Amino acid sequence: PVLADNVVATSQPLATQAGLSILQQGGNAVDAAIATAAVLTIVEPSGNGLGSDAFCILWDGKELHGLNASGRAPAAWSPERFPDGMPQHGWDSVTVPGAISGWIALSERFGKLDLKTVLAPAIRTAEDGFIVSPIIGALWARAADILGHQPGFAETFMPGGRAPRAGERFRNPGAARSLRMIAETKGKAFYEGILAEEIAAFAKANGGAMTVDDLARHEADWCGTISQRFDEVELHEIPPNGQGIAALMALGMLQHTAIRDHGPDDVAAIHLQMEAIKLAYADLHAYVGDREHMTDVDENALLDAGYLRDRAALISPDRAQDFGPGAPKQGGTVLLSTADASGMMVSFIQSNYAGFGSGVVVPGTGISLQNRGAGFTTEARHPNRVAGGKRPFHTIIPGFVMKGGAPLMAYGMMGGPIQAQGHLQLLLRTQLWDQDVQVAADAPRWRMISGLDVACEPTMGESTLSALRTLGHRVEVEAPDNAFGFGGAQLIARLPDGGYMAGSDPRKDGQAGGF
């Protein structure tokens, strides 16, 4: 781990350095988070972009705040528009991008430096170019094979007709132009001005439904957090429409098990976590969507202590089970962490969802658009059923740990469905089993897929994998070159005597840095 008074942990070294440079210029952890997030849109386009959504949990030195900067569906969307279900790519997978609104909201409320200063590293990186790093280069090539035909993709991200390879320089002048306008107008160009008009015009030209009005109506929401206690610590997550509640539910169930009697890599401990996660995800997929549309079962019902105790009682220590959703009410998913010497700590996540997202890139802007619409369902009466103006279910979640009313750890991971599962695994390793943040990031991971199917890293060891199979888990061992499926964690923990300890996931190209 890196130990310092000011720290940044991200999935790409150039982004880490950008965050540190902003701290060295007198910025705070929020300024550093925005600068880092902006650089990541340039150097890690395989995971996020200017057309991303975002969420944030931050400790401002006195209290905890939660920000939901995810966008809503275009007003014209309805279930009838999607007779074959929700598409994974193209304009009909694009909801209003919210990340830029998140940067603006954070900067206006908590930032110390002006937005032009904070976005300068990203503008410079986009204009001058950067050398593509290995893992990102590999993911870029995979995405190009799938998305190269989508509107605007090849023009921006396939110079010379292919994805740039690791070690090659890539420039994105369109993104530099967009970032300048965002800085000069404090985001207004993106939602109301020139960029909004270019996005809407490109949508119309390619059969998309998004309009200037859809973009103008968007705003980020200060939504607070929801939490779950485990012994002396509290895990905080963003309320639905995200999947963070699944980590809280699983943690609440594990309180009523014998997990404390086992070590971090014991088969029994892994089994109990897998079963709790399966129970939580069964409810997650049945009940969670846009908070405003969770009218029958809300987060209070899902986190009810008695309900979680009853769900925990279903877990057998001797065999794996395939659980269905419960009845919580009778009758009825790039992550970065920053921290500064003043005590401010930030967990921030933004993502285009599936790699480059929809594959749609607005010409001349560098704006690659997320495919968060794929998170909707067309199932009748489901709280996550697609509708105009509605937020889809989200996989991206920041995490934050408190202890005794004080901040303890800002953390999280990228990686789609593993995120809530990873939050649980990392929290238990650092808080129950006292592993430092880098050890926890390095440790073997598992991921529940569905039913009895689980994916495990080969580093778990053959004896452990065999024992899990004996319990009834259908174990799939995923090769190291598919490590993206096990996420990319970034963790910053507060030290008792001041300062921080930071760790960065070896499954990504990133690093933790500090001074």
The pLDDT of residue 326:
79
Residues 257-268 have a mean pLDDT of 98
Residue pair 230/431 in contact (Cβ under 8 Å)? The answer is yes
- Given pLDDT bands bounded at 50, 70 and 90, which one contains residue 15? very high
Describe the crossing of helices 13-24 and 115-128 by its angle, rounded to 10 degrees.
Answer: 150
The pLDDT of residue 330:
42
Residues 49-72 have a mean pLDDT of 97
Rounded percentage of the chain residues whose pLDDT exceeds 70? 98
- Given pLDDT bands bounded at 50, 70 and 90, which one contains residue 220? very high
Lowest-confidence segment of 181-185, 326-330, 356-360, 373-377 by average pLDDT: 326-330
More confident residue, 389 or 296: 389
The pLDDT of residue 325:
85
∠ CA 347-416-433, nearest 5°, is 60
The pLDDT of residue 417:
79
Q: What are phi and psi of 122, to 5 degrees?
A: -70, -40
The pLDDT of residue 332:
31
Query: What's the rounded Cα separation, in Å, for the pair 225 and 301?
Result: 16
Q: Are strands 474-477 and 453-456 parallel, antiparallel or unpaired?
A: parallel
The pLDDT of residue 484:
65
Q: What's 510's DSSP letter?
A: -
Query: What's the rounded Cα separation, in Å, for the pair 333 and 487?
Result: 10
333 classed as catalytic: yes
Query: What's the rounded Cα separation, in Å, for the pair 405 and 119?
Result: 33
∠ CA 307-250-350, nearest 5°, is 125
Q: Is the pLDDT of residue 416 over 90?
A: no
DSSP output for 377-397: B--TT-TTB--TT-PPPB---
Query: What's the rounded Cα separation, in Å, for the pair 362 and 204?
Result: 12
Give the bridge partners for 169, in sequence order: 131
Tell me the pLDDT tens digit for each residue of 383-410. Answer: 999 999 999 999 889 999 999 999 999 9
Q: Is the pLDDT of residue 29 over 80?
A: yes
Q: Which residues of 3-28 are buried (b: 16+ CB within 10 A; e: fewer)?
A: ebebbbbbbbbbbbbbbbbbbeeebb
Q: What's 123's DSSP letter?
A: H
Q: What is the pTM of this model?
A: 0.96
Give the bridge partners for 249, in sequence order: none
The pLDDT of residue 483:
55
Q: What's 251's DSSP letter?
A: H
DSSP output for 182-229: HHHHTTHHHHTSHHHHHHHHHHHHTT----HHHHHH---EE---EEEE
Residue pair 202/151 in contact (Cβ under 8 Å)? The answer is yes
Which of 10, 36, 333, 464 is catalytic? The answer is: 333
The pLDDT of residue 481:
64
Count CA atoms closer than 13 A to 146's CA, side-chain side.
16
270 to 116, 172, 416: CA distances (angstroms)? 47, 44, 20
Query: What's the rounded Cα separation, in Å, for the pair 228 and 238?
Result: 12
DSSP output for 254-323: HTTSSGGGS-TT-HHHHHHHHHHHHHHHHHHHHH-S-GGG--SS-HHHHT-HHHHHHHHTT--SS-----
453 to 447, 448, 462: CA distances (angstroms)? 9, 6, 17
Among 107, 55, 105, which residue's Cα sits nearest to residue 372? 55
The pLDDT of residue 403:
97
Residue pair 332/296 in contact (Cβ under 8 Å)? The answer is yes
Residue pair 157/356 in contact (Cβ under 8 Å)? The answer is yes
Structure tokens at 352: 């285009």
Describe the crossing of helices 418-427 and 267-287 by its angle, rounded to 10 degrees.
Answer: 140
The pLDDT of residue 396:
87
Q: CA end-to-end span of the chain, whole Å? A: 13
Average pLDDT, the chain: 95
Q: What's 434's DSSP letter?
A: -
The pLDDT of residue 333:
42
Instruction: Provide CB contacts within 8 A for 367, sequence distance 6+.
Output: 49, 50, 51, 97, 174, 175, 178, 195, 199, 361
Q: Is the pLDDT of residue 457 over 70?
A: yes
**Three-state DSSP state, 489:** strand
The pLDDT of residue 480:
66
- Given pLDDT bands bounded at 50, 70 and 90, which one contains residue 488? very high
Q: Is the pLDDT of residue 176 over 80?
A: yes
**Domains of the chain, start order:** 2-6+13-221+356-375 (no CATH), 226-334+396-514 (3.60.20.40)
More confident residue, 252 or 295: 252
Residues 343-364 have a mean pLDDT of 94
Residues 4-12 have a mean pLDDT of 97
Tell me the pLDDT tens digit for each residue of 309-347. Answer: 999 999 999 999 999 887 765 433 478 999 999 999 999
Residues 493-500 have a mean pLDDT of 96
Q: Is the pLDDT of residue 223 over 90?
A: yes
Residues 213-218 have a mean pLDDT of 98
DSSP output for 38-76: HHHHHH-TTT--TB-EEEEEEE-SS-EEEEEE-----TT
